[in-house]
Structures are given as C-alpha cells and as structure tokens.
Amino acid sequence: MATLLLDRSDLEVRSIGDALALYENGSRSGTVPLKLVERMIIQGSRTRLDSAVLIKLAEAGASTLLLSPRASRRVAIVLGPAHNDAAVRLAQGRRVTDEAFCTAWAHALVLAKLKRQHALLVRAEQRRPDRRKALHDAREPLAGIVGRLTREAVGSLDCASLRGLEGSAARLYFQGLSALFADSLGFTGRNRRPPRDPVNACLSLAYTLLHFEAVRMAHVAGLDPLLGFYHRPAFGRESLASDLIEPLRPWADEWVWQRFSSRELTDEHFSRDKSACLLGKAGRGRFYAAWERHAPAGRRWLRQRCSRLARELRKEGEPWLIDADEEDF
C-alpha cells in the first residue's frame, strides 16, 4: 500500500508499534504497517488521531494531506524531516533571482504543457469524430501558439509574455475539452474556488493531489517547494510545486475525461451547495481508487524531475558551503 486514504466518519487512528491501527465506533477494523505507507490522505469528517500518529508517519518519511471533508479543498500538508543538503537550497535561492534562468525554465515548462494539450486534442478528435469541428477549431490555433513557442529562441520571451501565450492557449484548450463532456454536466470551461460543475470538481481534486505529490517530491529531493521560477514566490504558495505540475495537467485532464466517458463517474455522484459542486462519498471512493491506478506514472515523472533539478543545483551550491569542522565556536 502506498496511499492510506481515510474517508470515513467516526474513524480513529492509533499508533501501535510499527503499525497504524484503525478503529471504527470503538472497534478495531484494521492494521496498516507503517513501512507500507508513503502518503496519508484524510478527508473523512470527525477522523481522530493524536500527534504520535503524525510523528510516526513523518519519521517513516510519509507525508499527510488534510482535505476539507466536503469540498476536497486542501487544508494542510504535514511533511517528514527536511533534507539536510544546504547546497541545493542555496543554489535554488540564487536561481530565483536569475532572470535568464527563470525565463528559460518558463519557456520549457509552457511549451511542454501546450504540446501535451495539443496532443490530447488530437487524440480526442480521433476518438470523437462527432465532435471534430469543435476540437479542430480549438486545436488549430493552439497548434499555432505551440509553433511560435517552438520557433522562438529561448530567452526571447519574458515570463509575462509566456503567461499571456499560456492564457490564450488555455482558453482554446478548454473550449475544445468542453466539447468532450455531456452537456448535462454543465462544463463550459475551467472554474474553481469553488468549482461549479462535476468536471471542474474532479479537475480541482486531481490538481490538488498532483500538487501535494510535487510538494512531497521536492521536499524529499532537498528542494524548497516555496521557491518557484515561473510561478514567482508568494506568501503561502508552494510555487515550485506549481511549476512542476504544469506539464502534467493535460495528463490529469485526460484521466478525468475517461472517468466520465466510461461513466465511472456520473452527475449522480455530485451534489450542489449554493454555487459549489461537491463530489459525494460514493464518487470519492471511485475517484481515489481510479487515481491510485493512474498516479504512479505522474509520481515517477515528478520524482525524476525533482532529482534531476536537485543534482543540477547541488553542483552550483557546493562551492558556497563551508566545512562545519572549520568553524570557530
């Protein structure tokens, strides 16, 4: 087991030796060895656990994501011990102020994301000939933006210009993507805070899980999740994690489309609370089970990307370190 999902009411988690014991209504319902847990997600209302559980998980290198019970909104992340490699953090902090580096990073990031968006629309057009015109009308101008970014020399477009192109591409992409879903779902484009239709509710939750994984992988690699190069550092935002997941968003979008096209998720799995659309407990069960089957490829990509970036930064940061034994006290 890599992920322990707690999404039941009146559930209690206790630490017993090298395992977690699960209790429902006072009766023990299961035991999970700590060595099998990489991440824990808590969404159930009235889930109870003490600090010993979080300490044990952190010591084992597992991370915990706490979501609001109904809206699936992130509340907090609990990470394990920090990486001790100061060289990586030093170089990362310097690179945040390096305009040429940030521009090159942003260019590669946006281009990778837009290429994957275009590729998804191409596949969708092949699978859904009945929606060919809508998909073609979105795909063709999106291809033009991809072509421009491919031709432009790296560094010729600043981050502001890249954000403008990314925004234009997003409008075209979601215009095409919306043609793939049943009209009854009410999906006409991206919306959030709160998501107002079933598709956006699933997109938001998928992105939240991806972001959590990016924070976790950055932390494990010794990177600072707060210091991004395209998403600039901002109070309370893991900007590097936001950077890292951009190329994976179309991968998550296609997965959400498959959940609805296969009718694994339907409108019946959702409820409305004022303007918010909420994924119900039965729907969450289906969502998380399918996500665990799909997620390993994305997690592997994030782990490799973070490891590679950390290696590059470590080489730059090591000359700035001193030998602790040589310090005078």
- Residue 273: predicted pLDDT: 87
User: Would you state the pLDDT for residue 327?
Assistant: 53
Mean of pLDDT values over 96-102: 94
Give the span between the Cα atoms of 269 and 201, in whole angstroms: 11
Q: Which two tokens stand for residue 100?
A: 């040429």
Please give the C-alpha separations between residue 132 and each of 35, 92, 137, 180, in angstroms, as whole numbers.
Answer: 49, 45, 8, 10
Task: Give the Cα-Cα-Cα angle 155, 161, 166 (nearest 5 degrees).
Answer: 110
CA pair distance 45, 78, nearest whole angstrom: 18
The mean pLDDT of 269-280, rounded to a whole number, is 91
Burial class (CB in 10 A: 0-12, 13-18, 19+), 23: middle
What's this model's pTM, rounded to 2 decimal places? 0.92
Say which residues have a Cβ less than 8 Å from residue 318's Cβ, sequence separation at least 6. 87
**Distance in angstroms (rounded) separating the CA atoms of residues 324 and 58:** 27
Structure confidence at residue 183 (pLDDT):
93
What pLDDT, on the 0 to 100 scale, is given for residue 284? 92
Tokens of 272: 């409305």
At residue 72 the predicted structure's pLDDT band, cuts being 50, 70 and 90, is confident
Give the per-residue pLDDT at 323.
61
Q: What pLDDT does residue 326 have? A: 53
pLDDT over 90, % of the chain: 64
Residue 17 banded pLDDT, cuts 50, 70, 90: confident
Query: Per-residue pLDDT for 65 more than 60?
Result: yes
- pLDDT bin (cut points 50, 70, 90) of residue 97 is very high
* Per-residue confidence band for 91, with pLDDT thresholds at 50, 70 and 90: very high
Q: How far apart are CA 205 and CA 73, in angstroms?
A: 7
Smallest CA-to-CA distance from 58 within 28, 15, 23 is with: 15
The 3-state DSSP class for residue 82 equals: coil
**3-class DSSP state for residue 33?**
strand
* pLDDT beyond 60 at 261: yes
Q: pLDDT of 178-222, one tens digit each? A: 999 999 999 999 998 899 999 999 999 999 999 999 999 999 999
Model confidence at 322, in pLDDT bands (50, 70, 90)?
Answer: low
Distance of CA 161 to the CA centre of its chain: 24
Sheet of strand 27-33: strand arrangement: 27-33, 19-24, 11-16, 48-49
Say how far apart CA 5 and CA 22 lie, in whole Å.
11
Q: Mind listing the domains of the chain with CATH numbers?
A: 3-78 (3.100.10.20), 86-320 (1.20.120.920)
In the chain, alpha helices (H): 51-59, 86-96, 99-127, 132-151, 159-177, 198-221, 239-245, 249-261, 281-317
**How high is the mean pLDDT of the chain?**
90
For residues 240 and 74, give the distance between their C-alpha atoms in angstroms, rounded to a whole number: 17
Position 45 scores a pLDDT of 67
30 pLDDT tier (thresholds 50, 70, 90): confident
Provide the pLDDT for residue 6: 87
Q: How many residues can be counted in the chain?
A: 329
